[in-house]
Amino acid sequence: VRHQLQRRWVLWFLKADRNRDWEDCLQQVIAFDSVEDFWSLFNNIAAPSSLNWGSDYYLFKEGIRPMWEDKQNVDGGRWLMVVDKHKRKQFLDDYWLELLMAIVGEQFGDYGDHICGAVLNVRNKGDKISLWTHDASQDSVNSQIGKIFKAKMNVPDEEIIKYEVHKDASKRASSIVKPRITIQGESIV
């Protein structure tokens, strides 16, 4: 018996390589559209905490390339949570699994149409988990998505998550992007 998901998803992997362009380091792993295929994939790939520095996973809706330039992302942005180095062992793998289950299981309800995909960046300076949405100007939609993002991963209230506009990130000279929305505890700023 196969339990169909509402949509088809594609997993991508990026293996860091300084000698190649960013886009050339990105490769599609597999597409799936059933609960069973999600689990067999998940059970067969390396856990986030065991990947090399610089690696990324991307889980995106089929038809959306996991990059700022895709037409579904070009006016979008991302909810970003940075996972402190000291918390990666305990939390990173669980956060990532909870987020994947929430998106393929359509836990964002009517906001699901606004979601493009989820990203994991394994970085020595702090791993990043993010959720990309396709219209960065829709503050109320994105705020609701941010609340669900935090709740589904069971992120402690005091952790701060920030919504960044892709156009700000892609134009940046430094790695500092002024967030458009911030959630800390119950408050949206």
Does 123 help bind ligand M7G (rule: CB under 6 A)?
Answer: yes
Smallest separation (angstroms) from ligand M7G to the CB of 101: 23
Least Å distance, CB 68 to ligand M7G, is 4
98: number of Cβ within 10 Å: 19
55 makes contact with ligand M7G (CB under 6 A): no
Q: Decide: is 121 part of the binding site for ligand M7G (CB under 6 A).
A: yes
Distance, in Å, from the CA atom of 176 to the CA atom of 178, rounded to the nearest integer, reads 7
Among 29, 67, 101, 188, binds ligand M7G (CB under 6 A): 67
What is the 3 state secondary structure string of 17-36? CCCCCHHHHEEEEEEEEEHH
* Sheet containing 77-83, strands listed edge to edge, beginning at the edge strand earlier in sequence: 26-34, 4-14, 56-61, 115-121, 127-133, 77-83, 160-165, 181-184, 187-188
Asked if residue 13 binds ligand M7G (CB under 6 A), the reply is no
C-alpha to C-alpha distance for 98 and 154, rounded to whole angstroms: 8
Size of the site for ligand M7G (CB under 6 A): 7
**Residue 115 contacts residue 132 (beta carbons within 8 Å):** yes
Q: Of the ranges 44-52, 62-70, 91-99, 137-145, which one interacts with ligand M7G (CB under 6 A)?
A: 62-70
Q: What are the two backbone dihedrals, phi and then psi, of residue 60, each rounded to the nearest 5 degrees?
A: -125, 155
CB of 121 to ligand M7G, least distance (A): 5
Q: Which of 5, 8, 41, 68 binds ligand M7G (CB under 6 A)?
A: 68
**Minimum distance of ligand M7G from residue 189's CB (angstroms):** 23
We find the least distance from the C-beta atom of residue 132 to ligand M7G, in angstroms, to be: 9
Binding site for ligand M7G (CB under 6 A): 22, 67-69, 121, 123, 175
